[in-house]
Chains A and B, each alone.
Chain A
């Protein structure tokens, strides 16, 4: 099963081989962030990028081509996931970087922070069944002409794990219609063969939304953890394409544009 999905990423020129260039990544660390080392490991050890951790009190992100807000429990998720991290000094710098067209990627808690900060539409509510949920999910790639998804094929199904208590994507009907109309949805929870069934949706997200981007197309948030799906020994390599797409965009100044 995995083999078939893997082919999508490796079916391209192998993303690891393809990313000959090197971009500079800043990986933000808030008190309570816990996936920063994992993201760093993938960027540095697997994709050979220039990546470093950035403390939440930093006010200048000028030196980074891309900024990643990794997963975890910033401020313990005590008020509401992402609600406190959103008011830290570094978020001002994230606004500035987004404004300048730098790539911003929020994973899990990072996605929650980006919606709280208003950089992405919608909100992430508690999971429908009110329990934390960790496990493998399948997500369908909706668009490939973006800086985050160009390494994939349209309609390709990726096997990537989730791990969250508040991943239930919500937007009011008008906002949701707008998100759909503008094609901002990049990933939807699906069955392994790409069907949008009720059981394939792990948290009750509206329209099965697992990942979206902003209108300008340079800020993406997703609940699944692509950094946990970058090595076969851990169960999947499907997540690698997100980072590979970003690197390709940043170093070649274009997207892959694959069928």
Chain B
């Protein structure tokens, strides 16, 4: 295909980039050098299109110990403890080889956490697929879930939460974003740096083969029907090796003498070595003959660019090599000295005595040009936003709508997914999958860490700025709902081809929205990942920024969950009291087959006050259950609280006073900044005072019952002055709703299921 093209073009570089390389080098690059540039300057490694925009994100805060730029972000938890966390995507590999694509996503994010000196303590995943009526989507989901479990379970790291959504927009390009969390004592944090001329550079872990060569370049192209042929670019994960590598590294950290560590991710040894040297402002010399290999006859560039998994690069203090080799041998692993830190700022690759590449570190690591392409509002937006919702009929049977909504694969129980993940190992999981957010206890303290991964491609498609802000707000709200205070954010920005003005506009808008929300809620961004070129046959996915939010609970014993606890408790809506917003809702999609309108409005100031109010109420010990109002709106949130209730509190009697707008919009619309809580009758006054104090609207909706029925009525303003008409809209057995919810996703996936 490429006989006529110059090598730089075959490798995906632009002419202007090739010319800059020649200028930086002072001559024309050899093939080895050019191949290293092609990887280091790929979008995946160099963030050419995203860097200028990402600078708009707030990254500083009093508790941020490490912002963007290292293997992962770090926040201070107090008591000498630090929380390490990061998110990564493996969208393209998973789209063509779901099991290994997802498994290596988990492996990679865990090694990022381990490279920071931390013990991985939790995993979460954000997944997007096409609608499950397509067999291929079910195949992808099954493969991805099995792959995540394969790696995480074997490593002994619990998968404590996540999200999965289905929409035809992801049919040709699924999304697999994996988030890892680790714990360390503050003084144990490592950096990805090479320093001290004369210090040895080691590669540790697995041997190097020809697998995954070109993975970074592959991730920087759009997918098409021909992408299947790129299957060899997908790496293969070995979680057993990953586990041994983790244990050996921790033993090495304890032994001391480690200057810096970095995972061999995209770009393999080249990327790890060059980035470490660049951070240290040093040069480095590598001899490819010293790299342990699993195949014979590998060329120098193949060794340098292989993306074989379960490898790390370590810079040690001189004289500590023998001890490192002994530790790795104990775990049955390789540790080989492959090079040395130099002081000349040059990255020099040798094959024995022969020099095969000499490149300035700074050029290779940081020299890629930055692009600010044209941004243009997509033409689809105007007609979509102008959609006339009056065209949609109001439901005749609200109970029937609720049953259908609760069975939507986007709302139904995710047990089929998370039951394939170990979520208890390490004895830290206080609230696991299925809660609003996961909650982990911190050993030796009363405290806990809450974490949530959240995104909403549909809102972002309709309004990327507001959609991204909502993703941040909702993730924070979820963290608050288990009793934690939001602290910081990591993010994965999944978009189409940024060279298209419409996609680039979506990207810029989403980053702005995220920045606004992070500023308003006091949650700086400590790092993340950008995944562009998520397109299939020229059709981009919904813009999908994924937010990973972490928070701290001062007392894990004070946590709450969504399920009702006691009959007689009062059900209270805190936050936005009225709203009939239909745009972008699951109701419009599931019942009417419509994705249109605008994303719901978001008042960030009210959002912050609401979150502070809920947090205070939980820690005063008066809240017995709390749940964010999200997909499916108020009615679905109430139903979820019934379904997850203790057996003796399985029911509710609720009356919603109707405000302006359609009744379906008020019950199933996704108006933001709302949390449902329950409190004992005796605590209603305290809650009222708290709401008053925080200037948060409060509305008593009804009570928890023991009769196993979900009863929802509305109160309609009557034409007569001062009177109101009550009307029962839904009266269903909770058990019927529970069955719909339990089987909603499973029925697509379990052979012989409904």
Residues of A that sit less than 8 Å from B by CB: 1, 31-32, 34-35, 37-38, 41-42, 71-73, 75-78, 129, 131-135, 161, 163, 165, 225, 227-228, 231, 233-234
CB <8 Å contact, A73 and B153: yes
| Per-position 1/0 for B420-436, Cβ under 8 A of A | 11111111011000000
A38 touches B239 (CB 8 A): no
Pair A73/B240 contact, Cβ less than 8 Å: yes
Q: Chain A residues near B423 (CB, 8 Å)?
A: 134
Q: Which residues of chain B come closer than 8 Å to A161, judged between CB atoms?
A: 424
Say whether A163 contacts B422, CB under 8 Å: yes
Interchain CB contact (< 8 A) of A41 among B238, B427, B646: B427
- Residue pair B332, A31 in contact (C-beta under 8 Å): yes
Select the residue from A41, A132, A225 with max chain B CB neighbours within 10 A: A132
Does A1 contact B647, Cβ atoms closer than 8 Å?
yes
Among candidates A34, A231, A234, residue contacting B156 with C-beta atoms closer than 8 Å: A34
Whether A134 contacts B155 in the complex (CB less than 8 A), given A34-B243, A38-B427, A233-B430, comes out as no
**Which B residue sits closest to A130, measured CB to CB?**
B146
Among B155, B420, B425, B427, max chain A CB count under 10 A is at B427
Determine if B441 and A163 form an interchain contact, defined as CB atoms under 8 angstroms apart. Answer: no
Q: Which residues of B contact A32 (CB under 8 A)?
A: 154, 240, 243-244
Q: Which of B590-612 contact A (CB under 8 A)?
A: none
As a 0/1 sequence over residues 716 to 754 of chain B, the CB contacts with chain A under 8 angstroms (1 = contact) are: 000000000000000000000000000000000010000
Q: Max chain A CB contacts within 10 Å: which of B331, B426, B646?
A: B426
Neighbouring A residues of B647 by C-beta, 8 Å = 1
Question: Are the CB atoms of A134 and B424 closer together than 8 Å?
Answer: yes
Collect the chain A residues with CB atoms within 8 Å of residue B241's CB: 76
- Kindly provide the distance from the CB of A55 to the nearest chain B CB, expressed in whole angstroms: 9
**Does B550 touch A at the CB level, under 8 Å?**
no
Q: Are A73 and B424 CB-contacts (below 8 A) given A132-B149, A132-B153, A233-B441?
A: no
Q: Contact at B419–A133, with CB atoms within 8 Å?
A: yes
A-B contact pairs, 28 of them (CB 8 A): A1-B647, A31-B332, A35-B425, A37-B426, A38-B426, A73-B154, A73-B156, A73-B239, A73-B243, A75-B240, A76-B154, A76-B238, A76-B239, A76-B240, A78-B240, A131-B146, A132-B146, A132-B149, A134-B418, A134-B424, A135-B415, A135-B419, A163-B153, A225-B424, A228-B425, A228-B427, A234-B427, A234-B430
Main SS at interface, chain A: mixed
Given contacts A31-B332, A34-B243, contact A234 B424 (CB under 8 A): yes
Could you tell me the distance between the alpha carbons of A234 and B441 in the complex, rounded to whole angstroms? 9
Q: How many residues of B are counted as interface, with CB atoms below 8 angstroms from the partner's CB atoms?
A: 33
Chain A residues lying within 8 Å of B155, measured Cβ to Cβ, are 34
Instruction: Output the nearest chain A residue to B239 by Cβ-Cβ distance.
Output: A76
Question: Provided the pairs A38-B426, A73-B154 are in contact, do residues A133 and B420 lie with their beta carbons within 8 angstroms?
Answer: yes
| Minimum C-beta distance from B561 to chain A (A) | 11
> Which residues of chain A are near B424, meaning CB under 8 Å?
134, 161, 163, 225, 228, 234
Chain B residues whose C-beta falls within 8 Å of the C-beta of A72 in the assembled complex: 156
**Which A-B residue pairs are the 3 nearest by beta carbons?**
A34-B156, A76-B240, A73-B154
Instruction: Please give, as numbers and ranges, the residues of chain B lying within 8 Å of A163 by CB-CB distance.
Output: 153, 422, 424-425
Q: Interface 1/0s, chain B 56-99, versus A by CB < 8 A?
A: 00000000000000000000000000000000000000000000
Bound form: Cα–Cα A42–B153 in Å:
21
- B429 neighbours in A (Cβ, 8 Å): 234
- Say how far A88's CB is from chain B's closest CB, in angstroms: 12
In the complex, whether B556 has a CB less than 8 A from a CB of chain A is: yes
A38 to B429, CA, bound (A): 12
Cα distance, A32 to B155, chains bound together (Å)? 8
**Cβ of A35 and Cβ of B240 under 8 Å apart?**
no
Q: Smallest CB–CB gap between B483 and chain A, Å?
A: 13
**Residue B400, interface by CB 8 Å:** no
Answer whether residue B351 sits at the interface, using C-beta atoms and an 8 A cutoff.
Answer: no
The interface residues of chain B lying within 8 Å CB-to-CB of A38 are 425-427
- Are B420 and A132 closer than 8 Å at their CB atoms? yes
Alpha-carbon distance A134/B423, docked complex (angstroms): 7
In the complex, what residue of chain A is closest to B242 when comparing beta carbons? A76
